[in-house]
Structure 1
């Protein structure tokens, strides 16, 4: 299979590598950053496409892995190509590609960093397509990666993307705030890493509501008041602490 990769960021890089590893040919790479496109093209043995208007029109798959607000412009440029056009966004409706004969979504549910290897056998792949033939095609691509493939429509995918923001992006931000507190008191973030690992481990075997711990779930007002006293000089952190504590108390049965 011949693939054109549009984008050179975290998602584009890992998907291009995965397609290459699965025995496919990455024929062209395009990015707004010419240097990043060159780096990815070098990794996967592809041609660097300097102008998207000159994209090859006979590839089998056109992978749009760019920022959400850039998808419409890229999709319009690709009108007339012969292969399947997909985007990789969790929050963008499949219909944004409706100007193409065959189109769909190929959304890997994972957090990606270019420097960290990803085992796609551990990555859920959510696919959606305008027709059954294209859906089977995209499902087969996911199977090549060894991934668990889910047929998820745009509405459910947006909900999944929202849930992922809470489970990943917001949680990681809380790690950062935790680091800030530790640093302020001359302690290493390494001290809290075992706690993070154990918390993540518990929800692999149980639902989060069944393993919630801490002063809020116990309604330990003394501890919470002590925490708020420590945060009195930082209204933003204090507000976050109170919002999350109240949410825990309200959602416990």
Structure 2
């Protein structure tokens, strides 16, 4: 049985709590947050606390807080030489105070509190300085049926940038598409099969090979029509930037 103390009450901490609670051989010993009301819903199922000095012994302490707070929280923990990990994609392993055995348990996924997550489809990027600690993280990942990857701090920083492009920026483009369709009283739902098919295609081919559209075809006439119709200057600038990126990638002349 792996005992876990969760620190933080955001999206990642909440989803880890839920999956750990339903897993064999994992016990959430305690859940800390500086504002108890954020986790009070769970008080009948797990010991909750807002006092770091009241933290119980555990095999691993998982800090799931904002990147800027990791160093401060880990420094404030009232013990040393225990295994403490964070869940950030961008923060360094060494942001955790050196008085602890340090590690990273980073789930590469987008989390929203009210949206269910299947952890069997969530890659976990793990890192630790001590071999036995790494083994514990492997066991933790496998117990919740996640695929795990041993990823260094530098690799994880690169991976996080790639994830921002793949998820956050893509979602912003969905939002712009939503705005564009609504401006002409078109249901955004019309685009959803296209969005799903695009995501499906890259499961079996490279994004390079999957690229379609006027830019990759060198269709100047269509690009000009689109630019003329787009009214929002920011949307127009993005359209131009992404069109140029596609033409550069595929060896086309700028349109």
TM-score normalized with structure 2 length: 0.93
For 2:187 and 2:99, the matched residues in 1 are separated by 53
Corresponding residue for residue 104 of structure 2: 105
Where does structure 1 differ by over 6 angstroms across 4 or more consecutive aligned residues? Answer: none
- Matches of 1:48 and 1:196 in 2, distance apart? 41
Cα contact 2:9–2:38 (8 A) shared by 1: yes
Q: Is the 8 A contact 1:86 1:105 kept in 2?
A: yes
Pair 1:210–1:183, CA change in 2 (3 A): same
- The residue number in structure 1 matching 2:180 is 181
SS at match of 1:63: strand
The Cα of 1:81 is off from its aligned counterpart by 4.6
SS at match of 2:50: coil
Q: Which residue of 2 aligns with 1:38?
A: 40
User: Is residue 249 of structure 1 aligned with residue 247 of structure 2?
Assistant: yes
Once the two structures are overlaid, the 10-residue window that deviates more, 13-22 or 175-184, is 13-22
Aligned residue for 1:29, secondary structure, equals strand
Question: 1:69 & 1:97 partners in 2: Cα distance?
Answer: 11
Task: Give structure 2 stretches of 5+ with no counterpart.
Answer: none
- C-alpha root-mean-square deviation of aligned residues, in Å? 1.4
The SS at the match of 1:91 is coil
Structure 1 residue matching 2:109: 3-state secondary structure: coil
Question: Are 2:157 and 1:128 aligned?
Answer: no
Structure 1 unaligned residues grouped into runs of 5+? none
Q: Write the distance in 1 (CA, Å) between the matches of 2:222 and 2:126.
A: 46
Q: Would the alpha carbon gap of residues 196 and 82 (structure 1) be closer, same or farther in structure 2, given more than 3 Å must change?
A: same
Q: Which residue of the partner structure matches residue 14 of structure 1?
A: 15
Q: Residues 72-91 of structure 1: matches in 2 within 5 Å?
A: 72-81=71-80, 83-91=82-90
Query: 2:39 aligns to what SS in structure 1?
Result: helix
CA deviations over 1:144-192 (Å, ceiling 9, x no partner): 1111110000000011111000001100110000000000000101100
Which residue is equivalent to 2:69? 70
Measured in 2, the distance between the counterparts of 1:208 and 1:37 equals 41
CA distance in 2, matches of 1:55, 1:167: 37
Deviates more, 1:239-248 or 1:107-116: 107-116
Map of 2:6 onto structure 1: 5
For this pair of structures, how many residues does the alignment match? 249
Corresponding residue of 1:209: 208
- Cα distance in 2, alignment partners of residues 8 and 95 from structure 1: 22
Q: 1:240 pairs with 234, 238, 249, which one?
A: 238
Q: What is residue 168 of structure 1 aligned with on the other side?
A: 167
For 1:156 and 1:40, locate their aligned partners in 2 and report how far apart those are by CA, in whole Å: 35
Structure-1-length-normalised TM-score: 0.94
2: CA distance, partners of 1:138 / 1:90 = 16
Measured after TM superposition, the shift of residue 60 of structure 1 is 1.4
